[in-house]
């Protein structure tokens, strides 16, 4: 009699994360999977927009960068391979965003410091820092990585907020974001301390779970 297949929960953490990441890429490679693309957009549009704004673009130009980046990902995701030697999806997406930003500056008719890629060129063959001779590239990548994590937390909070009662999320927001004490929250919202502690545990657990899922799928 053949051995029973291993329980997914028994797999090492690294294997579980890797499986989740492959699953996300597989879903994005299906253009008809509208829900996965909606989730991808909802999770990353703010990060892309913020990066474009900080590069010196206007709000309208930053919105175009978001649209063009999503289109570039859709067009090129089928060719992306998960390979540590070729760079992560995070680095690949950063590369795509930077070139879409460069395209916007080119549209202004102003000179740019880099030769822009073709509008459909998002090659994952080489890391951004290696491909672009930019002394600020390392700083840009560090800032991108920091904002990537902040963006995932914001996305996790948004998703949990839509799933719990408004009062519970308000309590959690005051505790976790505003750094209010439990007593102050209870007094301001006219609720007992038991409810405050319950909200902190309930919403906090959901946020941690959602953040972990997003981090696993963030490649």
Q: What is the DSSP string of 8-39?
A: GGGS-HHHHHHHHHHHHHHHHT-TT-HHHHHH
Instruction: Return the biggest CA–CA distance within the chain.
Output: 71
**What top-level class would CATH report for the domain 163-219?**
mainly alpha
Query: Can you give the residue ranges of every domain in the chain?
Result: 9-151, 163-219
The pLDDT confidence band at residue 23, using thresholds 50, 70 and 90, is low
Residue 190 has pLDDT above 60, yes or no: yes
Residue 138 has pLDDT above 80, yes or no: no
Query: Rounded mean pLDDT of the chain?
Result: 78
Note the pLDDT of residue 24. Answer: 64
Residue 10 sits at φ, ψ, to 5 deg, of -90, -10
Mean pLDDT of the 11-31 span: 59
Note the pLDDT of residue 195. Answer: 97
Note the pLDDT of residue 143. Answer: 83
Which segment of 36-50, 137-151, 175-189 scores lowest on mean pLDDT? 137-151
Note the pLDDT of residue 141. Answer: 78
- In CATH terms, the fold of domain 9-151 is Rna Polymerase Sigma Factor; Chain: A (1.10.1740)
Cα–Cα distance between 200 and 154 in angstroms, integer? 17
Its pTM stands at: 0.65
Mean pLDDT of the 42-70 span: 93
Residue 96 has pLDDT above 50, yes or no: yes
Note the pLDDT of residue 36. Answer: 83
- Judging by beta carbons within 10 Å of its beta carbon (0-12, 13-18, 19+), is residue 147 exposed, middle or buried? middle
């Amino acid at each position: 009699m053949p051995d029973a297949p291993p329980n997914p929960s028994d797999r090492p953490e690294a294997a579980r994360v890797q499986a989740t990441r492959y699953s996300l890429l597989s879903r994005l490679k299906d253009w008809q999977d509208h829900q996965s693309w909606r989730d991808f957009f909802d999770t990353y549009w703010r990060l892309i927009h913020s990066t474009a704004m900080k590069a010196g673009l206007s709000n309208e130009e930053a919105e175009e960068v978001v649209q063009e980046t999503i289109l570039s990902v859709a067009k090129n995701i089928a060719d992306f391979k998960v390979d540590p030697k070729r760079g992560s999806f995070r680095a690949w997406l950063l590369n795509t965003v930077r070139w879409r930003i460069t395209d916007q500056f080119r549209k202004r008719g102003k000179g740019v410091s880099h030769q822009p890629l073709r509008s459909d060129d998002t090659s994952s063959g080489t890391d951004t820092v290696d491909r672009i001779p930019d002394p600020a590239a390392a700083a840009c990548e560090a800032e991108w990585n920091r904002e990537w994590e902040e963006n995932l937390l914001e996305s996790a909070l948004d998703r949990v907020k839509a799933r719990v009662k408004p009062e519970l999320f308000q309590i959690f927001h005051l505790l976790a974001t505003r750094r209010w004490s439990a007593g102050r929250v209870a007094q301001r919202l006219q609720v007992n301390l038991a409810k405050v502690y319950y909200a902190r545990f309930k919403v906090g657990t959901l946020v941690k779970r959602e953040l972990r899922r997003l981090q696993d799928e963030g490649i």
